[in-house]
Structure 1
């Protein structure tokens, strides 16, 4: 922390709010300076996770998009896969179809611009891709093409087990991403396990991607520098 003479810690407590600092104070024996150090570290590690989660999301959505595009093309259709409601069966797909409509609206500025496929894909959020790993899409997407996007997984020949393994990691990381995006405390999480899930998914998809992501990640250094 900067020298205490540069600012008044009690003022910062008031500015941030006692509720926001409560968990940091609890873990710092109510020492305000230590709590502010931990708060600053939490922001740094959160930013590092956001970087790695962002890289993972882009790689995963591109793999899924390419696979689903090829699946629909093999059936003789020129339409984008996200316009094929047969891939999204039942009432449980309503949220996914809603997400697609919203993504198309954002990508086209509510119909003012032509649809560009890559822009629609980039507008679909992490939660959308997470739910493509759920049981509801096991038959329409997972078995035909999505399971094959994880060739380096421990269970590449067992689609159901692989889907469960990927879904669990995506669910955990989606929750983490939402906490990070809303500036929530993550300092009490098993962050090394969270990081392992990110890198496992990257490795299962592509060894080069895994090497690239681990080489860029700031998480290991920051985990080692957590304030006492």
Structure 2
């Protein structure tokens, strides 16, 4: 659908000059082409949210299961688990995030839903190998590549979840993802979903619009 003259005049002002400049540069200063690119960025970002939501839910639930298998159903209040988490005076602290929620939330399920994505990402650090991952990783992620060691898989998961979180945050902050390899981003998200459940990954393939939109980039 073409833009109206009024849209071409008004939309760049609403988007704001600094934000719109990225799209203008990418299309050699052509305002209408830059708007088409902006619209595509909106559409592909929106489409990726479907995959990102399934990824976050499936991965966090699998990690939560591993923690529960190790520390019991009341793991958010287990002092041993809390102490095992990294703490930091500057930047994100998984321990503080969990303890703060444990003081307020009435149930484990509520805490699982409210913990930040980075909490689950940082569960894939080496500090949890002995207590959790050496026994639990291949149980809660049954479709991972079992030819690799637990440490290789956990390191790979940490790296991939970090990239997924960065993408998620860019989309959440309405940033352009024009320079991302969208096909690669989708495959990364899909693989982490498949680690938990391949049926869910196959269902995602049926409902997602990301791969269709890749070929429509203006």
User: Common fold, TM-score beyond 0.5?
Assistant: yes
Partner of 2:136: 145
TM-score (norm 1): 0.85
What's the TM-score, normalizing by structure 2?
0.89
How many angstroms does 1:146 deviate by?
3.1
Partner of residue 4, structure 1: 4
CA 1:177–1:22 in structure 2 vs 1: closer, same or farther (change >3 Å)? Answer: same
**Separation in 2 of the partners of 1:163 and 1:38?**
37
What aligned pairs does 1:118-157 form with structure 2 within 5 A after superposition? 118-155=109-146
Give the corresponding residue for 1:92.
86
Query: Residue 163 of structure 1 is aligned with which of 154, 162, 181?
Result: 154
Matches of 1:38 and 1:61, distance apart in 2 = 33
Query: Is contact 1:147–1:162 with CA below 8 Å preserved after alignment?
Result: no
Q: Please tell me whether residue 192 in structure 1 is matched to residue 183 in structure 2.
A: yes
CA separation in 1, counterparts of 2:134 and 2:82?
A: 14
Aligned residues: 214
Q: Quick one: which of 101, 108, 111 aligns to 1:103? A: 101
Alignment partner for residue 206 of structure 1, among 197, 209, 213?
197
CA contact (8 A) 2:137 2:150 kept: no
Range with bigger deviation, 140-149 or 155-164: 140-149
C-alpha separation between the residues in 2 aligned to 1:28 and 1:226? 12
1-side partners of 2:173 and 2:181: how far apart?
Answer: 19
Aligned-residue offset at 1:91? 7.4
How far apart, CA to CA, are the structure 2 residues paired with 1:156 and 1:102? 39
1:117-160 Cα shifts (integer Å, max 9, x gaps): 21111011211111111222222222231343222222455101
How well do the aligned residues superpose, as a CA RMSD in angstroms? Answer: 2.0
Distance 1:212 1:156, change over 3 A: farther
* Paired residue secondary structure (1:92): coil
Q: Which runs of 5+ in 1 are unaligned?
A: 74-78, 109-114
Seen in structure 2, the aligned counterparts of structure 1 residues 63 and 34 have a Cα distance that, compared at 3 Å, is: same
Q: Does the Cα contact within 8 Å between 1:156 and 1:162 map onto a contact in 2?
A: no
Residue 46 of structure 1 is matched in structure 2 by 45
Q: Deviations over 1:11-35 (max 9, x none)?
A: 3222211110121111111111111
- 1:33 paired with 2:32, answer yes
> Would the aligned equivalents of 1:150 and 1:156 in 2 still touch at CA under 8 Å?
no
